[in-house]
Copies of this chain bind each other. A is one copy, B any other.
Amino acid sequence: MSHTPDPDFAERVRASFALQSAMDLIKATLSTVEHGHVAIHLPHWSGVEQQHGFVHGGVVGMIADSAAGYAAMTMVPASASVLTVEYKMNLLAPAGGEHLLARGRVIRPGRTLIVTQAEVLAVQDGRETLCALMQQTIMVMHGKSEKG
């Protein structure tokens, strides 16, 4: 897609992420920002739990959605922004462990739509358990940079 890839994509992604209060609220941080691939780290802390002590499925969805959306953002021009059109997520196992890692990647970059995928891993003592799988559609808003 991007004929003129933006060399500063990582900086743009980090600046946008820093402005998301909701990511701060749940204590999520960016752990990887590469071309077509972004990972988000979430510590397992009491504030994000559901009634059984696992991380709430909605919070799992938040980091999956964000990781995949930012993966898409790494592939658009600096003058464009991205928007989640829709996503579908299967919860595969309870989100336990010490922290979660959401890994988003671009499956098909298009000029207007980008299709992505994310997996969320629960990590305990270095062992990873796949706890969610997401498929997502992102829209590219050309001429509307994130910084507006």
Instruction: List the one stretch of A2-10, A31-39, A56-64 in contact with chain B.
Output: A56-64
Residues in B with CB closer than 8 Å to A25 are: 25-26, 47-48
Q: Which of B20, B62, B93, B113 contacts A49 (CB 8 A)?
A: B20
Interface centre among A19, A61, A86, by most chain B C-beta atoms within 10 angstroms, is A86
Measured between alpha carbons, how far is A120 from B49 in the docked complex, in Å? 22
A21-B49, A63-B58 known; A89 vs B92 contact (CB < 8 Å)? no
Docked-complex contact B51 and A19, CB < 8 angstroms: yes
Q: How many copies does the complex hold?
A: 4
Contact assessment for A62 and B65 in the assembled complex, using a CB-CB cutoff below 8 Å: no
Q: Is the interface of A mostly helix, strand, loop or mixed?
A: mixed
Q: For chain A residues 25-55, which have a beta carbon within 8 Å of chain B?
A: 25-26, 46-52, 55
* Contacts of A99-119 to chain B: CB distance below 8 A: 107-108, 112-113, 115, 117
* A48→B25 CA distance, assembly (Å): 7
Q: Does A91 contact B (CB under 8 A)?
A: yes
Report Cα–Cα, A144/B139, bound state, in Å: 20
For A113, what are the chain B residues with a Cβ–Cβ distance below 8 Å? 85, 139
| CB–CB B61/A65 < 8 A | yes
